[in-house]
Amino acid sequence: MIDDALSFFKALANDNRLKIVGLLAQQEYTGEELATILSIQPATVSHHLARLAEIGLVSARADGYYSVYALSVERLRTLLDEHLSSDAFIQLTNDLDLQAYENQVLREYIRPDNQLQKIPNQINRRKIILAHIVRDLKPGVRYSEGQVDRILGKIYDDPKALRVELLDQKFLTRDEDGYWRGKLQRSSGAGYGIWD
């Protein structure tokens, strides 16, 4: 997936290869002609053509002892569609663990026995911890203050402080009838798509 995109951009990330594509976009050329126009050695042209051929952008046809090179317009269209479509950029992250940072922060503050060591100072990390902890409350259920503190007390020795933080950061809501869990929110900035 990302390897294909990478091959595509790498293939075009060179001035002589870009020039070759530009030339072949207008007409066919032999290797000798390309070498002369670009002022480089035939061997170098061969190398660049091979790289362009790797992604199917260029094809060769034999003509006597000449090779005549042509741009594959079909393939160019396909490649542009594949790697520059609205989803293409997002799919570049397919193999990544998007939760890696959150998990790292959780491991840092919550011990293996599930005890919170300390409420993080930085708002960033605090939110990650709170978003995790609030999952101990069931959504849609209303809790008394005592119930909340009992639940929080199982993972931290100052449940009141934890409760206040959860309220401050809107992970927990209260009214005269008690507390309930708010909707989960992202830890980072709001997401948005490339093409709206």
Binding of a copy of itself at residue 155 (CB under 8 A)? no
Least Cβ distance, residue 115 to a copy of itself (angstroms) = 23
Q: Which is nearer to a copy of itself, 103 or 117 (CB)?
A: 103
Residues 108-147 that bind DNA (CB under 7 A): 121-124
Range 17-24 contact pairs with CB under 8 angstroms and sequence separation of 24 or more:
17/48, 17/51, 17/52, 20/45, 20/48, 20/49, 20/52, 20/58, 21/52, 21/57, 21/58, 21/71, 24/58, 24/69, 24/70, 24/71
Which whole-number Å values give the CA distances from 171 to 25, 182, 195, in the listed order? Answer: 58, 5, 31
State the binding partner of 185 from DNA, a copy of itself, none, CB within 5 to 8 A by kind: none
Least Cβ distance, residue 134 to DNA (angstroms) = 21
Binding of DNA at residue 10 (CB under 7 A)? yes
Which of 14, 41, 115, 117: binder of a copy of itself (CB under 8 A)? 14
Binding of a copy of itself at residue 186 (CB under 8 A)? yes
Residues 123-142 that bind a copy of itself (CB under 8 A): 124
Q: Which is nearer to DNA, 36 or 86 (CB)?
A: 36
State the binding partner of 76 from a copy of itself, DNA, none, CB within 5 to 8 A by kind: a copy of itself
State the binding partner of 5 from a copy of itself, DNA, none, CB within 5 to 8 A by kind: a copy of itself
Binding of DNA at residue 47 (CB under 7 A)? yes
Least Cβ distance, residue 113 to a copy of itself (angstroms) = 24
What is the total count of residues that contact DNA (CB under 7 A)? Answer: 33
State the binding partner of 41 from a copy of itself, DNA, none, CB within 5 to 8 A by kind: DNA
